[in-house]
Amino acid sequence: MVIQANPPEPPPEVIEDPELREKIYKVFRDYFKKAEKKRRWNIDTDIPWDQVNKDVDPVVADVIETFCMVELYLPDYLAKQLPAVRANRGRAWMLANWGYEESKHSMVLEDWLIRSGHRTEKQVREMGDDLFSREWNVHYGNSRSAVIYTMFQELATRLHYRNLRAIAAGRDPALDKILELVMQDEAAHAHFFRSLVQLYLEYDRERTIEHFRHVVRTFHMPADSLLAQGRQRMANIRALKIFDESIYFTEVYQPLVQVLGLTKDELKPKKVHRVS
């Protein structure tokens, strides 16, 4: 991840006009239509629970627990982002839909931890109780930076699930199906937010790139600072090659820069000319 010790001041908020809000809503309706037609899944009937392997490496279970813990902050994610976009139907409706899908992720991961025997119901309950002693807070105080951050974060999350699936390949059909389904959801989320960033670039390229540069300089995944023992958990994820700085750069940052059509010159920090 690219993290700056002393992050620059964020760009100012951008007021989205009615025409842009309508375009965002159309992007959401397209997302929703495809999700309803191709991507909806059921925790109870779409997972081969009878094929859970209780001998999966405990290291894999520890990573699943970390993913589950991040997903469990869903109440904070929604409560602290919805008020800022309540007048933007595309953004607000997407958060509601996103929350539904993320709630399934946390539940299906919890179910696997328990059914595989790696955690008891009591341990999972205590994990949740401990988590809610801390709060997640928004990384960015403006909606445009928040969308750009979420684009990065959702693509990175998809890679977390993809790479864990590769590590656990062939060991547990139930876990394999879970990771496949969750990975597909995360890919769809990343595509949605990327579509919004493309709209912002069309509408106000210079200001959007300013927000993009700010997010790049300050980006970090939620587990880095949110979870107890977050640094150790992220170190474990890096050690397994599930996600690290190299993966971030080659499979998140570079592809997004390319597909968004951003140039090196545009992404260079602006020089500040001081008047003496």
- 87-98 pLDDT per residue, tens: 999 999 999 999
* Mean per-residue pLDDT, 224-244: 78
Residue 201 has pLDDT above 90, yes or no: yes
Question: Is 88 inside any structural domain?
Answer: yes
Note down the domain range covering 201.
Answer: 54-264
For position 224, what pLDDT does the model report?
61
**Is residue 18 assigned to a domain?**
no
Nearest 5°: the CA angle 242, 105, 96 is 120
| Number of domains present in the structure of the chain | 1
Whole-angstrom distance, CA of residue 29 vs CA of residue 144: 20
Asked whether residue 140 is domain-assigned, the answer is yes
- pLDDT tens sequence across 126-145: 988 888 878 888 878 788 89
Considering the domain boundaries, does residue 20 fall inside one?
no
- Asked if the structure places residue 25 within a domain, the reply is no
Residue 1 has pLDDT above 50, yes or no: no
**pLDDT for position 129:** 87
Could you tell me if residue 24 is inside a domain? no
Averaged pLDDT for residues 147-153: 95
Q: What is the DSSP letter of 138?
A: -
DSSP code, position 39: I
- Check residue 131 and give its pLDDT: 83
99 CB-near residues (< 8 Å, 6+ apart): 74, 77, 78
Helices (H), the chain: 18-34, 58-71, 74-85, 89-115, 121-131, 143-167, 173-203, 205-218, 223-226, 230-239, 245-248, 254-260, 264-267
Report residue 274's pLDDT band, with 50, 70 and 90 as the boundaries. very low
Count CB neighbours of 163 within 10 A. Answer: 21
Is residue 212 assigned to a domain?
yes
In this prediction, residue 232 has a pLDDT band, given cuts at 50, 70 and 90, of confident
> Both tokens of residue 193?
């937010």
Q: What is the domain-level CATH number for residue 89?
A: 1.10.620.20
Say what the alpha-carbon torsion angle 266, 267, 269, 273 is, to the nearest 10 degrees: 0
Domain annotation covers residue 178 = yes
